[in-house]
Structure 1
Amino acid sequence: MTNVPTHLFNQPFDSLDDFADAISEHLHCPVTIEDSNHQLLAYSSHEDETDAARISTIIGRRVPERVINRFWKDGVIPTLNKSDEPLVIPTINEIGLGNRVAISIRKNEEVLGYIWVLEVGRSLTNQDLADLKIAALKARNQLLQLNLQTKRKERNDQELLWQMMTGDVSDQTSIKSHLQRLGLKHNHALAIMVFSFESITKAQYRQLTYATKTLQRIDILIQTLDENEFILLVSPNSVTDFDMEAREFIHTFSEQVKERFQLSILAAGCSYPKESFDDVKTSYKEARTVIQLKQLFKRELHKSFFYHELGVFRYIDILKRSNETKELATNHAIQKLQAYDQEHRANLLETLEAVLDREDNMAEAAKLLHCHVNTLNYRLKRIKEITLIDIKDPVQKIGIYLDMKLFRNGK
């Protein structure tokens, strides 16, 4: 192989588009340059020959989600993220992708972006691949500058979000203008999503940001971090369909960060969409309340994401804080069952809670308790004999249910 020309791509370029054109002219192939989140930064001009994936990327200014998902599935992106060598990617007809060669642009272990070369009418030679490595090195400084600008912009965006979440909102016109620059459409509502983790490092925060930017299911305006909580300001595509839209996003986001980055979400909460900027503070409080209660009552609330889905658990904190409740909270029925269980090594208290949790579905409760339905019926009869509680009475049922949860939470 001939020596690699060290002067290659040394001339100054007015823009990344000019740089992409220079790479394209040298390799005689169309070129695109993306940031680390697959947002399009630059692309070269091309002749009539191209492919659907490239056209979609240019039109949408980002790589389509179906292409990103396939690249993760086939190991393309993990390989690029671990290496500074060019990677040859064969045709994938299902996603409209022709033969490509890709290389990551990196500073040490951090990926700043990618260069993609579409092989049209020719395959890149070994010399071409060596030249592409030089191009990636030359692109590093330009992407570092862009990263600095992006980080400054993100800090300003995050400061705005914290002002809204803490109620420090004064200039509505300025906030509206700022959010519109971020993509907020006219008169669209806003909502807050919060995801809780065991801990979040800087590297993991970048991974979470990557996941939100590549999931094209919902408009995410700002993301920020508060210790172990990842917070998103989102703009629903449809207020009426937001419940389903949010659930789909939370589900897919949770799956992707676990599968791709081995990050497990402890709890996720979401607010209702609201049109006033002043309501973002309430939205944040709603989402955090969901998070906090889900962490206290994991089993009961694992399917709940919105405040209204918390049901009676919305009042748990109020009951706990009430001095009067503290004085009156002793439920003698619970005390009797607890004493009976201790004396007879039984589990009547657990049985009652299981039946209440399963909304009187005896088959499900029996399955949870690993016993036969007949055994469960016998236990319920014994519970009624000991406590005189009638769980068919809605007043008694709600009361014992709340007292049971306060009892469990207070242990």
Structure 2
Amino acid sequence: MTDKNHQSFNRQFDSLEEFVDAISERLQCPVTIEDSNHHLLAYSSHDDGTDAARISTIIGRRVPEKVINRFWKEGVIPTLNQSDEPLVIPQIHDIGLGNRVAVSIRKNNEVLGYIWVLEVGRTLTKEDLADLKLAASKAKNQLLQLNMQKKKKEKNHQELLWQMITGDARNHQVIAEQLSKIGINPQKPLAVILFSFDVMSDELYKKLVYVAKTTQKINILIQTLDENQVVFLISSHIQNDFVKETKDFIETFKTQIRERFGISQIWSGCGYAYENYEWIKRSYDEATKVISLKQSFDQELQSATFYHELGIFRYIDILQQDEQVKDISINPAIRKLETYDLEHRTNLLETLDVILNKDGNMNEAAKELHCHVNTLNYRLKRIQEIANIQLKDPVQKLGLYLDMKLFRGR
């Protein structure tokens, strides 16, 4: 590295744009700088030799989701996050990516952002890579300042979110004006998504926000942490597809958290999207209810995302809290089967529970109980004889299903 090159990065820059131009001039290649969530901060000019990935990044102001996902699968992002050395990345045709070199901008072990260099017409030399590493170290202070400003804004945003989900902010017009001041379009329906975890840490929270914001399937407007629960205020890209987009986002989020960080125990719930922002608290309460019941009835409600998908379980907690219901004796059919099982060492009550859970599908029930369908048909006949019930009667069947859930919850 020459003294001249050292001086080119060792002076004051009025902006990141000026700094990225200096890097581009030194390396004679197009350069971009991103934050830690792959949002574009600054980019140099380029000629016709650029690639599709760079063009998409500049137009969308962030790296395309398919590129980020590929970088994770290829080990690019994990490698950059663990080292301050430049990384050479060969071209990947199917995502429109030309030859690149990247380096992380770090403060100790925290990644503040990345510098990406597109090798156009030349390959970076060892001296070039050394200067790129120097540039990353010089970019640290500028990104630290941006980070401080970002955290200050996020704190104000989070305070507004807390006011909405606790009901302290109740006037739609006031909320809309506050959202508009922080750059959020107050014309779209908004909803709340919750993700609950067994344990939480600051490091994990950063990873969760990173995954949510780079998934790009919905708009993450504000996020905050409530003990072991991450709260996202969201809006849909397309209003009519809100339910589908939300389900796609949740599934992708869970998959990436599992694949990248080995976390599989995640409970999720989403409230409805409301145009009246006074109802954001209602959306939060709906999401909370979904998670609460899924934690109690994980098997039955594992596919539920929205409040209406809870079905009859929406009323379980109401019944459990009702003193009159508490005083009602257990369904005599359940009591008879429980007694019979104890006396004869059978499992007819469990069999009934599985059949009800499978909505009478004998093949699926037999598979879960590890028995032949003929055996299960015999058990079902005995259950109906002993308990004096008729499962073909929808009223009895629904009542038994509900009574079984209350019985299991006692």
TM-score using structure 2 length:
0.97
Matched residue SS, 1:123: coil
Distance in structure 1 (CA, Å) of the matches to 2:86 and 2:239: 44
2:370 equivalent in structure 1: 370
Matched residue SS, 2:175: helix
Matched residue SS, 2:237: coil
Distance in structure 2 (CA, Å) of the matches to 1:235 and 1:137: 37
Distance in structure 2 (CA, Å) of the matches to 1:374 and 1:65: 51
Decide which moves more: 167-176 or 118-127. Answer: 167-176
Query: Is this contact kept in 2: 1:200–1:228, CA < 8 A?
Result: yes
| Structure 2 gaps, min length 5 | none
Counterparts of 1:166-177 in structure 2, within 5 Å, are 166-170=166-170, 172-177=172-177
Query: Is this contact kept in 1: 2:222–2:234, CA < 8 A?
Result: yes
User: Within the alignment, does 1:239 sit opposite 2:201 as a pair?
Assistant: no
Matched residue SS, 1:304: coil
Counterparts of 1:279-290 in structure 2, within 5 Å, are 279-290=279-290
Amino acid across the alignment from 2:124: L
User: Within the alignment, does 1:97 sit opposite 2:97 as a pair?
Assistant: yes
Query: Is this contact kept in 2: 1:197–1:264, CA < 8 A?
Result: no
Deviation at 1:98, TM superposition (A): 1.1
Q: 1:329 to 1:301 in 2, by over 3 A?
A: farther
Matched residue SS, 2:98: coil
Amino acid across the alignment from 1:292: S
Q: 1:166 to 1:186 in 2, by over 3 A?
A: closer
Q: 1:387 to 1:163 in 2, by over 3 A?
A: same
2:271 equivalent in structure 1: 271
1:12 equivalent in structure 2: 12
1:64 equivalent in structure 2: 64
Distance in structure 1 (CA, Å) of the matches to 2:376 and 2:183: 56
1:137 equivalent in structure 2: 137
2:43 equivalent in structure 1: 43
Query: Is this contact kept in 1: 2:300–2:357, CA < 8 A?
Result: yes
Distance in structure 1 (CA, Å) of the matches to 2:354 and 2:261: 35
Counterparts of 1:215-254 in structure 2, within 5 Å, are 215-254=215-254
User: Within the alignment, does 1:154 sit opposite 2:154 as a pair?
Assistant: yes
1:32 equivalent in structure 2: 32
Distance in structure 2 (CA, Å) of the matches to 1:32 and 1:282: 42
Matched residue SS, 1:140: helix
Matched residue SS, 2:234: strand
Amino acid across the alignment from 2:94: E
Distance in structure 1 (CA, Å) of the matches to 2:4 and 2:79: 24
Distance in structure 1 (CA, Å) of the matches to 2:384 and 2:173: 62
Deviation at 1:329, TM superposition (A): 4.1
Distance in structure 2 (CA, Å) of the matches to 1:2 and 1:237: 50
Amino acid across the alignment from 1:276: N
2:338 equivalent in structure 1: 338
Amino acid across the alignment from 1:380: L
Deviation at 1:402, TM superposition (A): 0.9
User: Within the alignment, does 1:128 sit opposite 2:128 as a pair?
Assistant: yes
Matched residue SS, 1:214: helix
Deviation at 1:239, TM superposition (A): 3.4
Counterparts of 1:286-297 in structure 2, within 5 Å, are 286-297=286-297
RMSD value, Cα: 1.6
Query: Is this contact kept in 1: 2:304–2:310, CA < 8 A?
Result: yes
Query: Is this contact kept in 1: 2:171–2:277, CA < 8 A?
Result: no
Amino acid across the alignment from 2:393: D
Deviation at 1:180, TM superposition (A): 3.8
Distance in structure 2 (CA, Å) of the matches to 1:212 and 1:118: 27
2:213 equivalent in structure 1: 213
Report Cα offsets for 1:17-63 as digits up to 9, x if no partner.
00000111111111100000000001112233211111111111000
Amino acid across the alignment from 2:373: V
Query: Is this contact kept in 2: 1:224–1:232, CA < 8 A?
Result: yes
Decide which moves more: 222-231 or 7-16. Answer: 7-16
1:118 equivalent in structure 2: 118
Report Cα offsets for 1:74-129 as digits up to 9, x if no partner.
11111101110000111111111111110000011110000001111111110110
User: Within the alignment, does 1:78 sit opposite 2:78 as a pair?
Assistant: yes
Distance in structure 2 (CA, Å) of the matches to 1:221 and 1:307: 22
Query: Is this contact kept in 1: 2:5–2:26, CA < 8 A?
Result: no
Amino acid across the alignment from 2:332: H
Decide which moves more: 179-188 or 107-116. Answer: 179-188
Aligned-pair identity (%): 63
Matched residue SS, 1:300: coil
Q: 1:232 to 1:197 in 2, by over 3 A?
A: same
Q: 1:224 to 1:265 in 2, by over 3 A?
A: farther
Amino acid across the alignment from 2:376: L
Query: Is this contact kept in 2: 1:49–1:120, CA < 8 A?
Result: yes
Q: 1:41 to 1:181 in 2, by over 3 A?
A: farther
Deviation at 1:316, TM superposition (A): 0.5
Query: Is this contact kept in 2: 1:8–1:134, CA < 8 A?
Result: no
Matched residue SS, 1:299: coil
Q: 1:380 to 1:182 in 2, by over 3 A?
A: farther
Deviation at 1:343, TM superposition (A): 1.2
Query: Is this contact kept in 1: 2:271–2:287, CA < 8 A?
Result: yes
Query: Is this contact kept in 2: 1:337–1:348, CA < 8 A?
Result: yes
Amino acid across the alignment from 1:332: P
Q: 1:300 to 1:164 in 2, by over 3 A?
A: same
Deviation at 1:237, TM superposition (A): 2.3
Deviation at 1:181, TM superposition (A): 5.5
Deviation at 1:171, TM superposition (A): 5.2
| Structure 1 gaps, min length 5 | none
Amino acid across the alignment from 1:152: K
Query: Is this contact kept in 1: 2:16–2:41, CA < 8 A?
Result: yes
Distance in structure 1 (CA, Å) of the matches to 2:299 and 2:38: 37
User: Within the alignment, does 1:54 sit opposite 2:54 as a pair?
Assistant: yes
Q: 1:363 to 1:113 in 2, by over 3 A?
A: same
2:408 equivalent in structure 1: 408
Distance in structure 1 (CA, Å) of the matches to 2:315 and 2:71: 46
1:189 equivalent in structure 2: 189
Distance in structure 2 (CA, Å) of the matches to 1:332 and 1:316: 19
Distance in structure 2 (CA, Å) of the matches to 1:125 and 1:181: 47
Deviation at 1:392, TM superposition (A): 1.4
